[in-house]
Chains A and B, each alone.
Chain A
Amino acid sequence: MSGKPQKAQKPQKPQKSQKPPKGSTQDRHDEQQTGRTGQDRPDRPREERTTAVRLNVFRTYKLFIGGAFPRSESGRVYQVTDTAGDWLANAPRASRKDARDAVVAARKAFPRWSGATAYNRGQILYRVAEMLQGRREQFAAEVAAAEGLPPGTAAARVDAAVDRWVWYAGWSDKVAQIAGAANPVAGPYFNLSTPEPTGVVAVLAPPESSLLGLVSVLAPVIATGNTAVVVAAEPAPLPALSLGEVLATSDVPGGVVNVLSGRTAELAGPLAAHQDVNAIDLTGAGPDPALARELEKAAAENLKRVFRPRAEDWTAGQSTDRLLAFLETKTVWHPMGV
């Protein structure tokens, strides 16, 4: 399995050599074997971690499906570590059944979300930015742990993610004006082309950028009225799972965004082959060209729109590519006359 960035393949610290390989069915039982017990979890302020005046309340990281926070139906979890290999949390290891449930939730949410006014969607995406801003410190700590970034850089990534939501929030009611057209046909007809969301989009989030990369691939999908099933960065899913909590408190209707954590290779196949998924963003399969090819092939079965992996700099400004990639153009004709 690839799909993991280099940093996740860093040699393990010697004291954890007895740990079973990732993906083992014993994943969920081996938290006791790791060196740390959560003293340094990013959801605690640092001074509290060092002084330890009271025992911290851990947060259980869960999936986000249909607006609810279920554990994986499989009962599986996998250990998430920081880039130094120290334990951070047990993340749910979603199954293909969870993926199917997420598609059902996304399909159910599609009529209402695509039918909402673009203005309303813009307001809600802006609300996401507000909520994310409010939890800036938490996300900065999670991103720092997930990506091994210095605190200032991690905070800058969170700020950029907030700004990205704001950028796409503004696009929701403008994209039709750049992607649509009034067509001057040679006859007495009114003829108008408008973009419409393609439907349910499966998104494989980039493994190397746990929050900013995720927001950069997710926000353009839902800004135009699609609903999404996101597979979080496999080695660093915690910011994505926390983002589910932000979305849940941002007036984003349940099912519009569904977040799965687990093995990308295990979840991507069923999503690529799913007959009720309209499009797939293969960005997260970028490090593994063989996987990307298999997924594109599977996607051909119902002619999904495929966004192929490409080199990205998530900190750079965005173009409209990802907004436009998951749109259909509908052209309506009507005769003119009296």
Chain B
Amino acid sequence: MTEQPTATTTPTTTATPITPAGPRSAPGPLPGFAYAPAPESRDLAEIAPSYGLYIGGEFREAHNGKSFTTLDPSSEEPLSEVAYGGAEDVDAAVRAARDAFPAWAGLPGAERAKYLFRIARIIQERSRELAVLETRDNGKPIRESRDTDLPLVAAHFFYYAGWADKLAHAGFGTDPKPLGVAGQVIPWNFPLLMLAWKVAPALACGNTVVLKPAETTPLSALFFADICRQAGLPAGVVNIVTGDGTTGAHLVAHPGVDKIAFTGSTAVGKEIARTVAGTGKRLTLELGGKGANIVFDDAPLDQAVEGIVGGIFFNQGQVCCAGSRLLVQESVQEELLAALKRRLTTLRVGDPLDKNTDIGAINSAEQLARIASLTEAGEAEGAERWSVPCELPSDGYWFAPTLFTGVSQAHRIAQEEIFGPVLSVLTFRTPEEAVAKANNTPYGLSAGIWTEKGSRILWMADRLRAGVVWANTFNRFDPASPFGGYQESGFGREGGRHGLEAYLDVR
């Protein structure tokens, strides 16, 4: 951990000045130290002025001719005009997927596998381009899109490619069948990674796909359509219909869809479950969370601090499994919080394309407003707010890393998913109390445990009602590792052998 105390703002290419932050309590070595700008080249991703819907292997305009603008959230600069899919377009896409289904499902698994291996390889080849594109459309730091999102995207296709001809050995019967057409609706926080989590297992199992990317981040899915073209994927196997929540609702309600997979908010997930009720469509949901990161007094505090920071500030906290509640044992609360605040002041907030940036832009004005409103509620309910003293760029959507102390379990910021760079700190005395507080939400997606005592890790892991438990680490992902929640965090698992079940006709 560095002791560099100065929070700085990396310049966006719209020339926001580097601004050493004001005075603070942490010790202040190296006065005047600053990073030089190190922006990745925008030219690596050539964005066309407009994009159509990808249906039946070709791009086409929306039936009603409508389109919408997608922005760079770090500058509010328009990136492209994207076709707005309506009911007719969803219908056309479902038809295309239906038409493509028999041949795709009928291919020998080994041949389907080779298409997926091709896709994985092309993603690796084009990964820098896609990383830049993702960062521009989403606002996440290039360091994350380049080092986390894209490697995981390629790995996910590579992993499920290998399953395509081994399904008979996956524990779902000797001749498991695909479901048919999968309607998939994905969020904006990891646009291409969520696409990979949905599309790779669906195709490996022999389904065809209609995917609806998020309204604010449609571009990487459209670039993926081009990758499908390069891979020679048969027309109609993957169809991309861009649009908003209404477009997604058309897809969910379409009678020609056999399976719905959704990642997003719990409220929308419930609405989808109601729509699907009685139709016999299969459903998997990966929804919100309010993950507890639990730090015991015997934890290696420096490592814990890094884990806490990665847990809540990775991707600006716009992560469903974020460790948004810090549960710290009372005896180390002061020491840990001092170290945490010191570390937070070293985070570099600014231009997402700068390779030194730690914290990028919030994805949209709407999301920024939600974060602001919940943090205001936190202050109004009596929690104490501390934000990193840093200057934020004037254009775009920005929120300084923030933590709240004095948070009670009843506070909205301890119960509701903020989906932003905001950490709520609570304390506990005994392991039993930590478990009770950690489990005290309707969610159940993730949890973290920090302690050097192995038996305590296992005792805690056993009792935490969460689909993923990270012990002495946080926010690790791998295509071989099942991911998904308990309770209102949804049902079904993505990743690993378990992830196949969502796309096979197993019952």
Contact = CB atoms under 8 A, between A and B. Distances in A.
Interface stretch (B215-223, B364-372, B472-480): B472-480
Given A300-B274, A302-B488, 18 more contacts: A178-B171, A183-B481, A189-B476, A191-B478, A191-B481, A193-B498, A289-B278, A293-B277, A296-B273, A302-B442, A302-B487, A303-B270, A303-B273, A328-B444, A330-B461, A330-B466, A331-B483, A335-B473
Interface of B: 155, 171, 266, 269-271, 273-274, 277-278, 280, 285, 287, 442, 444, 457, 461, 466-473, 476, 478, 480-484, 486-488, 490-491, 493, 496-498, 506-507
Contact of A330 (B274, B469, B480): B469
Interface in A171-199: 178, 181, 183-187, 189, 191, 193, 198
B231 to A, nearest CB: 23
A297 B272 CA distance: 10
Contacts of A116: none
B467 A303 contact: no
A334 B481 contact: no
B498 A333 contact: no
A248 to B, nearest CB: 29
A103 to B, nearest CB: 15
Contact of B480 (A184, A292, A297, A303): A184
Given A181-B482, A187-B478, A332-B461, A321 B468 contact: no
Contacts of A299: 273, 277
B473 to A, nearest CB: 5
A193 B493 CA distance: 11
Nearest to A300: B273
A73 B466 CA distance: 36
Given A193-B496, A303-B266, A332 B273 contact: no
Nearest to B461: A332
Contacts of B476: 185, 187, 189, 333
Contacts of B280: 308
Most chain A CB atoms below 10 A, which of B155, B171, B285: B171
A323 to B, nearest CB: 12
Contacts of B487: 278, 302-303
A333 B471 contact: yes
Contact of A186 (B155, B270, B468): B155
Contacts of A189: 473, 476, 478
Contacts of B457: 334
A20 B388 CA distance: 74
Nearest to B466: A330
A193 B278 CA distance: 31
B423 to A, nearest CB: 21
Interface in A288-308: 289, 292-294, 296-297, 299-303, 305, 308
A29 interface: no
A7 interface: no
A310 interface: yes
A299 B277 CA distance: 9
Most chain B CB atoms below 10 A, which of A178, A189, A299, A310: A189
A329 interface: yes
B269 A303 contact: yes
B480 A333 contact: no
A331 B473 CA distance: 13
A269 to B, nearest CB: 14
Given A297-B274, A333-B473, A303 B490 contact: yes
A294 B278 CA distance: 8
A334 B450 CA distance: 10
A220 to B, nearest CB: 13
B193 to A, nearest CB: 15
A322 to B, nearest CB: 9
Contacts of A193: 481-482, 496, 498
B491 A305 contact: yes
A52 to B, nearest CB: 51
A258 B483 CA distance: 32
A332 B469 contact: yes
A300 B469 contact: no
What 6 A-B pairs come out closest when comparing CB atoms?
A293-B278, A300-B273, A296-B277, A185-B478, A297-B277, A334-B471
Given A187-B476, A302-B487, A330-B467, A296 B496 contact: no
A328 B442 CA distance: 15
B478 A296 contact: no
A193 B469 CA distance: 10
Nearest to B493: A329
27 contacts: A178-B171, A183-B496, A184-B480, A187-B476, A187-B478, A189-B478, A191-B480, A191-B481, A193-B482, A293-B278, A297-B278, A299-B277, A300-B273, A303-B269, A303-B287, A303-B487, A303-B488, A305-B491, A310-B507, A329-B484, A329-B493, A329-B498, A330-B461, A331-B468, A331-B469, A331-B482, A333-B471
Nearest to B484: A329
A58 B487 CA distance: 44
Contacts of B269: 303
A297 B270 CA distance: 9
A256 to B, nearest CB: 19
Contacts of A331: 467-469, 481-483
B468 A333 contact: yes
B304 to A, nearest CB: 13
B86 to A, nearest CB: 26
Most chain B CB atoms below 10 A, which of A193, A329, A331: A331
Contacts of A300: 270-271, 273-274, 277
Contact of A183 (B287, B478, B484): B478
Most chain A CB atoms below 10 A, which of B171, B444, B486: B486
Interface string A303-321: 1010010100000000001
